[in-house]
Amino acid sequence: MKKNRFGGRWATFFLAAGLFSTILISCKENSDDMVGQKTVSDVIRENPEFSILKELVIYTEGTDALKAQNATFFLPSDAAFNKAKITSASQITYMPKDSVRNFLNSHVLKGLVSYAELKPGKYDAVYKKFKLEVAKKDTSFTINGSEIARRNVNASNAMIQVVDSLFVKVK
């Protein structure tokens, strides 16, 4: 006697189709579930190469520039501070908070500028008394003589360029 397997095949087909559609429906992302891009403050706080900078930001109770939208940050890494013989934030935090805040703001340029969009010239930093001078050296750009060690780190509110030395001397 020949068995009829037609019903089992249809059941298997519908079971597989139902399982596949359930997987598709359950994988839809809700905008509330999505992880947003990190802000400049998040990048500084979570990256160990910015430990000195993190302490300075905490000391100044944050800076308005960190909350700015469409800004370009030329952030000095710990290696940049070490190059200036600054091994800990305590070598800077003895200064008044306003002076440290001005130091931080001297590393910020208004406007969102990627590395490819940099043009030689002088620009006003967020700290108005300070100028950022962009120069082209061979095939790369320098900012006040500092080389850009890491380019175009995106943040939700800004563009970050990591520099290899400080722009201003800390006294």
Q: At a CB cut-off of 8 Å and minimum separation 6, what does 147 contact?
A: 137, 140, 163, 164, 165
Contacts of 20 (CB under 8 A, 6+ apart): none
CA distance 139 to 88: 33
The rounded distance, in Å, linking the Cα atoms of 86 and 74 is 18
Predicted pLDDT of residue 33: 47
Say what the pLDDT of residue 74 is: 95
- pLDDT of the residue at 38: 86
Per-residue pLDDT of the chain (171 residues; tens, 9 = 90+): 555 555 566 667 666 666 666 665 655 555 454 456 888 888 999 999 999 999 999 998 876 667 777 899 999 999 999 999 999 999 999 999 999 999 998 999 999 999 999 999 999 998 889 999 999 988 889 999 999 999 999 888 899 999 999 986 655
Q: Is 139 helix (H, G, I), strand (E, B) or coil?
A: coil
Q: What letter would DSSP give residue 125?
A: B
Q: How many whole angstroms separate alpha carbon 4 and alpha carbon 31?
A: 49
Per-residue confidence (pLDDT) for residue 88, from 0 to 100: 92
pLDDT of 157 reads 85
